[in-house]
Structure 1
Amino acid sequence: MSATTTVSKAGDGTNLRGKLGTWLMIIATVALGFVMCVEFINILFYDPYSDDHFLFKLAGSLAGVDIGTLTYLMFGSLLVALMAGLPLAFVTGGLGVAFIYLVGDGMMLNIIPSRIFPMMTNSDLAAIPLFIFMASMLERAGLIEEMFNVVYKWMGGVGGGLAIATILASTILAAMVGVIGAAVVTMGIIALPAMLKRGYDHKIALGSIMAGGTLGILIPPSILAILYAVVAQQSVGELYLGSVIPGILLSSLYVFYVWIRSTINPQLGPPIAKEDRISFKQKMGLLKDLIAPLILVFLVLGLLFGGIATPVEAAGIGSFGAILVAMKHKVFSVATLRDASVTTAKASAMVLWIMFGASVFVGFYILQGGQDFITRSILGTGLHAYGILFLLMLLLVVLGMFLDWVGILLLAVPIFIPIVQALEFPGLFGFPAVPGDDVVLWFGVLYLVNMQMSFLSPPFGYALFYIRGVCPPEISMGTIFKSSLVFLAIQAFGLFLCILIPGIVTWLPNLVYG
């Protein structure tokens, strides 16, 4: 069973909201289509020159509404539509168009192409389908199984070794693919049965898979980092470099937690039996299986970090390299290429549709003065800069419980960035301040860490439902929720360290790019 198929099954089985939302959207579309049909017939055949038609009467009907009321109307209707299970891409785009027409007029609809066209001409976005293709091809090459086998044989003799191997393999995997769902599901299929067979504590087993799998959103080549760089007008290379140390830090914290718990109580994560362990020479021999993919990762990231290649060029080289890796593993075929291409097309279309819809929605809101309204409201609270930052982080966590990472990025980040830029961060407890030029970069990495938390946040964190799709029936959803809480706390601690010591984020980009 492929990871993609399992993810689809996990997503389909979450609840009935999706089906209800689909039917509501169909009914609303048919009703609106009927009204428009009647109006067009009236306009074409009966009264073409009258402005008294229903559709025309709606234009500008909300023109006199103040920005505070408009904020409640726009985001309230967005919340209701999302709670009904309607897809984010069409909800944001549809509401954006509706409010543009209701607040303005027909001419104001010109905002739509003016928001979408700059994205269509942004070359950095071409890196997204290329990195997704690279991930899909490496997944089909059987690379994840091989990598887990190598790390498992190296770490199996340590207390909690299987869980530690899962985290380390997920960290390496994150540097190869940058796609969350495939990592969580595939590691769940491979590592979870092995841990359960050896009597691992369910919370450690499930938590290590989910927390390790979410590292793909932070460690380069993260798809989300590319989108943030486009929205925030930042360098992709700088953002990638800024996220390297936080990613390694979080991975180390996960490993340390598992090792400590398993050392204190070996029953939680027993090591593999001595007769199943291998010699150091055999361990070294296993490393040959990782040579090709690791060369590919270092080549792609090295070209990008060194400024030799643009993100798109590096992604193109990575995609071609992934094909070569698949050939080396003797799994490359026309069917494999087709499957990887279809997966890439579906994932890229989802991301781009959400981008277009959210850009129209947020762009219109900002044009109406929404940015100034939000900025004044938050700055007017009288909170210290770090208090406001905490408030923004809290809002992102709450949004992460209900929205996916692309939607949060495009709805919240364009509004939050000007607020952060207007603040000064003098440092906490005697630690260094955040230089003004580094604030957007620093906030970007904080956002990426925060989005990791959103994947583990009950009740709707995506990783929770990914792992549910591969769990045995005896593991309840409540157990999955509980297993996420400790690792969620570790992520919050990692986020706090990045806030407390900004150099964790800014040191490497400043070292490389000055």
Structure 2
Amino acid sequence: MASLAAEGSRRPGGLLPRTGRGRAVLLVTATLAFIILVEVMNIAFVDPYTDPPLLFTLQGTLSEISIGWLSVLMFGSLLVLLFAGMPLVFVTGSLGVIFIYLVGDQFMLNIIPTRIFPLMTDYQLSAIPLFIFMASMLERAGLIDEMFDVLYQWMGGVRGGLAIATIIASTILAAMVGVIGAAVVTMGIIALPAMLKRAYDPEVALGAIMAGGTLGILIPPSILAIIYAVVAQQSVGELYIGSILPGLLLSGLYVTYVGVRAWLNPKIGPSLPPAERVNLAGKLLLLRRMAAPVVLIVLVLGVIFTGAATPVEAAAIGSFGAMVVAALHGRLSLRSIKEACIGTAKASAMVLWIIFGATIFVGFYILRGGQEFVANLILGTGLDAYGVLALMMLILFFLGMFLDWVGILLLAVPIFIPIITRFSFPGLFGLPGIESGDVALWFGVLYLVNMQMAFLSPPFGYALFYMRGVAPASISTATIFRSSLPFLAIQATGLLACVLFPQIVLWLPRLVYG
């Protein structure tokens, strides 16, 4: 160990950095450590009401700050740290604790457990690890490969058929996994080489994979929908049902776009040669391989929609069903279960830590009057209900280019929901409006569609970077960015349709729940 340390000290960037940058980082780190040590000693050993602080204290130094300047400092610090490359999972919680101490005192830190504990005991959040485990087991069962192969054979004879098959497979995959990264990466590995081999236009191939992959945000069992329902105090079941038609609408728009483009220009999506096509009898036989995922999807979503089980219970049924499917495919083993459990623990921990950190950050901001401050800013614009909605959608879209989807939800939705529910939406251009009790549900689905747009929006949309990670080096990042733009426009069209025709969102929930 001593020799390794000595060797590290001789290298640039070793254990004992000698560059100017290394010294600066070391100095800043030492300064922060010293400040934290002094503050911890003040909290542990000094009575703030009777004793002077040890050396100094930052406690309460911002106690007189106005909510306007506090907003600038809190959200400005958040953006600076995120642009510096710090992970959101730690930034929000850390900043929340720091500002609680700077604005209040050591005793105000007691609000931290009061913010976290209700989430720790929220029953609905139990569905998150269960759905993630279900997705992990299905991936290890090889169902995704088989599903794409079946759709590949069914659609290959159509112009643009492989891209259409990719979108349909992604739609089914969204109903199985509910996690975007898995869908984009998996379909990128499976479908992209097949399309490039068949001389598909790279932009059509890339766009179909990324747009189809983002459907996991919207189509149940979406993980984001669960978190939104918890934060907005909505029914997970209603949100799931309300997101079905918008999800299918977007999927249908993607398919239509690819089909029309390939029909107009066959070179961008050539069909399979006749010698490689499968006849109708062969296609019908292939459908047997689709039975397991379809039955599992119908089972999980069916028990939710019929009210036979809660989303958490449905997630448990889905997890068990995924293990049964893996066993039927000969892929169930102790190793696969262990890997699925480890992956589930990592993903769940990441999501829950973001929830806890953002809850502390936003909870303190609301406690200091931030919600009323933002409401007054928005209402002070003089916009009507639909103008405020448009402004919120633009803010969410902008945030989506830089922040994680869970972080956006926990930072913006607790502030936006009380504002948007103040308004009535009578309908645009003589079209039907929305009852006041349905506004939060309608806004929730609009939020989910908006997050799909954020995942595809350059320069920092997550789906773009997932695709960059699996695309061959011959495909440039600029090509990936360009491929997203037509599908981004389609998503904006779908969002506008849900605003103009709210029954796309509300018809199924009202049909099921009355």
Structure 2 vs 1, CA of residues 328 and 26 (structure 1 numbering), >3 Å: closer, same or farther? farther
Residue 342 of structure 1 corresponds to which residue in structure 2? 342
Alpha carbons 2:464, 2:481 under 8 Å: kept: yes
Moved more, 107-116 or 251-260: 107-116
CA distance in 2 between counterparts of 1:198 and 1:81 reads: 44
Q: Gapped runs of 5+ residues in structure 1? A: 1-21
Alpha carbons 1:39, 1:54 under 8 Å: kept: no
Cα deviation code 1:286-322 (max 9, x no counterpart): 1111111211111111111111111111100100000
Residue 237 of structure 2 corresponds to which residue in structure 1? 237
Cα deviation code 1:153-178 (max 9, x no counterpart): 11111110000000000001111111
CA distance in 2 between counterparts of 1:26 and 1:405 reads: 33
What SS does the aligned partner of 2:470 have? Answer: coil
| 1:226 and 2:226 are equivalent in the alignment | yes
Residue 3 of structure 1 corresponds to which residue in structure 2? none
Q: Gapped runs of 5+ residues in structure 2? A: 1-21
Residue 6 of structure 2 corresponds to which residue in structure 1? none
CA-based RMSD: 2.0
What SS does the aligned partner of 2:176 have? Answer: coil
Residue 68 of structure 1 corresponds to which residue in structure 2? 68
Residue 107 of structure 1 corresponds to which residue in structure 2? 107
1:97-176 correspondence runs (5 A): 97-176=97-176
Residue 6 of structure 1 corresponds to which residue in structure 2? none
Alpha carbons 1:362, 1:411 under 8 Å: kept: yes
What SS does the aligned partner of 1:37 have? Answer: helix
Cα deviation code 1:367-425 (max 9, x no counterpart): 10000010011011001211111110000110000001000000000001011001111
Residue 252 of structure 1 corresponds to which residue in structure 2? 252
1:173-252 correspondence runs (5 A): 173-252=173-252
CA distance in 2 between counterparts of 1:223 and 1:237 reads: 13
| 1:308 and 2:323 are equivalent in the alignment | no
Structure 2 vs 1, CA of residues 150 and 512 (structure 1 numbering), >3 Å: closer, same or farther? same
Alpha carbons 1:446, 1:498 under 8 Å: kept: yes
Q: Provide TM-score, normalisation by structure 2.
A: 0.93
Letter of the aligned partner of 1:301 in structure 2?
A: L
Letter of the aligned partner of 1:298 in structure 2?
A: V
CA distance in 2 between counterparts of 1:66 and 1:204 reads: 51
Structure 2 vs 1, CA of residues 27 and 319 (structure 1 numbering), >3 Å: closer, same or farther? farther
Letter of the aligned partner of 1:276 in structure 2?
A: E
What SS does the aligned partner of 1:176 have? Answer: helix
Residue 495 of structure 1 corresponds to which residue in structure 2? 495
Letter of the aligned partner of 1:96 in structure 2?
A: G
1:380-395 correspondence runs (5 A): 380-395=380-395
CA distance in 1 between counterparts of 2:291 and 2:503 reads: 32
Deviation at 1:81, TM superposition (A): 0.8
CA distance in 2 between counterparts of 1:362 and 1:211 reads: 31
Structure 2 vs 1, CA of residues 36 and 305 (structure 1 numbering), >3 Å: closer, same or farther? same
Structure 2 vs 1, CA of residues 45 and 245 (structure 1 numbering), >3 Å: closer, same or farther? closer
Deviation at 1:35, TM superposition (A): 3.0
CA distance in 2 between counterparts of 1:110 and 1:240 reads: 35
Residue 10 of structure 2 corresponds to which residue in structure 1? none
CA distance in 2 between counterparts of 1:437 and 1:199 reads: 51
Deviation at 1:42, TM superposition (A): 8.7
Residue 7 of structure 1 corresponds to which residue in structure 2? none
Alpha carbons 1:249, 1:494 under 8 Å: kept: yes
Structure 2 vs 1, CA of residues 91 and 382 (structure 1 numbering), >3 Å: closer, same or farther? same
CA distance in 2 between counterparts of 1:486 and 1:44 reads: 58
Letter of the aligned partner of 2:102 in structure 1?
A: L
Alpha carbons 2:38, 2:54 under 8 Å: kept: no
Deviation at 1:33, TM superposition (A): 2.7
Alpha carbons 2:180, 2:213 under 8 Å: kept: yes
Residue 369 of structure 1 corresponds to which residue in structure 2? 369
CA distance in 2 between counterparts of 1:206 and 1:26 reads: 43
Cα deviation code 1:5-54 (max 9, x no counterpart): xxxxxxxxxxxxxxxxx999997665433333356679999999742335
CA distance in 1 between counterparts of 2:357 and 2:413 reads: 15
Residue 399 of structure 1 corresponds to which residue in structure 2? 399
Structure 2 vs 1, CA of residues 501 and 47 (structure 1 numbering), >3 Å: closer, same or farther? closer
Deviation at 1:135, TM superposition (A): 0.3
Number of aligned residue pairs: give it: 492
Letter of the aligned partner of 2:483 in structure 1?
A: S
Letter of the aligned partner of 2:99 in structure 1?
A: F
Deviation at 1:133, TM superposition (A): 0.3
Q: What percentage of residue pairs aligned between the two structures are identical?
A: 67
Letter of the aligned partner of 1:250 in structure 2?
A: L
1:259-270 correspondence runs (5 A): 259-270=259-270
